[in-house]
Amino acid sequence: MAAAAVGALLAAPALVAVSSAPAVALEDNPFVGAGQYVNPDWSALVETAAAEVGDPGVAADMRAIADEPTSVWMDRIAAIEGTERQHGLQWHLDEAVAQSGGSPLVFNVVIYDLPGRDCHALASNGELPATAAGMARYKTEYIDPIAALLNQPEYENLRIVATIEPDSLPNLVTNQSDADCVASAPYYREGVQYALTELYEVGNVYSYLDAAHSGWLGWPDNSGRSAQEFANVIEGSTYGWDAVSGFVTNTANTTPLEETFLPNPDLQVGGGQVKSAGWFEWNPDFDEIDWTAHLYDLMIAQGAPSSIGMLIDTGRNGWGGAARPTAVSTSTDLNTYVNESRVDRRNHRGAWCNPSGAGIGQRPTVTPSGHAESHLDAFVWVKPPGESDGSSVEIPNDEGKRLDRMCDPTYQSSELGGRLTGALPDAPLSGHWFQAQFEMLVANAYPAIG
């Protein structure tokens, strides 16, 4: 990249945060009546990917989705001003204003830099330690500058939708046997509360708290404790439920929207309930439609207002292609029945890193129909398709990212019942472009692109 271009990416003026209570009421659903920001950085990567493939049909499919809206990730302090790989936040906000043409426009952004980030994974470890010093930097060097930028008057007509700290609070529910998660817990809670408060005071930010996915939190014990954790953190923040527009599930994951041929977890097959099969392990939430409906009810019981909405990341959960089942199994053996019927083709529901066989899912959609119980505000692409989940081998870097064996295709994980991870080989660092993965996602899109 030319020096002038790098300078343009990195340049950003110093700003002073202005803290004030919101002057106007937020929309019930920010996506209604609004366009969405198309990230030129991602669109350019898609165009480059299309130019590299030899099949003109595949290239056409890639270009057909290049203008879909994707989230802008603030995954480290340097991302605020911009890096060699992506423009900074102010550049994106200016571009969003230009794209809006004076009409309502949603700008999707991910807040993702907690101290001790991703305590139970290594591929996306962050830059800040789980210490008081790390917490201070999170507030003053990360959240405060972001809030200051968002609070500039030229951006007041944007509808800023913020995904708040993926995987953070869910880790506090299920991974408290991990010493790193124990150490991170107080900073996760304090950091999320601080982010909610500062972003709410901007006045036009809609915060959606990350709520993992059905294959992580769907079990009754996990889901109940998750709802309590979410409610405790929200109600302990300065503005409580006023600062939360809802929850976002399946962020950067590939859990299907619907298990089309497995609609009933209590159905008896071969003498057992479908949910008791080895694949589901007694988890009654088979997909993200199940989980969002379940989560909504749980949060209402915890005191959430009925206006909360749900977002689902559908960027990589299509599971199309030749391996997708076309009919329910006729087997009378429970495990065979489930394995032949399930849309999700992973080796295990916990296999999260660059899973082989995944495909692009539903395109970003406002108020999707047919799922009233889920109270969906939108299908969104939080994780831009084509960006890696983590490297398959150790790669030296200055981003705090390490090799997680869940990204190693040769690794048999005890967390997956001794199965291979099913991860793609030759993967780059998390967040970096992964050409082979993008080609796979496009080929396996469901609904198909072309």
Which residues are part of the catalytic machinery? 167, 389
What residues have CB less than 8 Å from 382, skipping those under 6 apart? 70, 71, 108, 110, 163, 166, 248, 251, 252, 311, 313, 315
**Residue 398: exposed, middle, or buried by beta-carbon count in 10 A (0-12, 13-18, 19+)?**
exposed
Per DSSP, the chain holds a count of helices (H) and strands (E) of 14, 13
- Smallest CA-to-CA distance from 95 within 176, 41, 141, 167 is with 41
Question: What is the Cα–Cα distance from 390 to 394, expressed in whole angstroms?
Answer: 10
* Structure letter (DSSP) for residue 415: G
Question: What is the Cα–Cα distance from 450 to 434, expressed in whole angstroms?
Answer: 22
Question: What is the Cα–Cα distance from 273 to 227, expressed in whole angstroms?
Answer: 26
Helix, strand, or coil (residue 403): coil
- Smallest CA-to-CA distance from 211 within 230, 193, 225 is with 230
CB-based burial, 269-296: b 16+ in 10 Å, e otherwise: beeebbbbbebbeebbbbbbbbbbbbbb
Task: Give the count of beta carbons closer than 10 Å to the beta carbon of residue 127.
Answer: 20
For the chain, give percent helix, strand, coil, nearest 5. 35, 10, 50
CB of 241 within 8 A of CB of 342?
Answer: no
Tell me the chain's radius of gyration from C-alpha atoms: 21
439 is written with which tokens?
């080609």
CB of 133 within 8 A of CB of 73?
Answer: no
Helix, strand, or coil (residue 108): strand
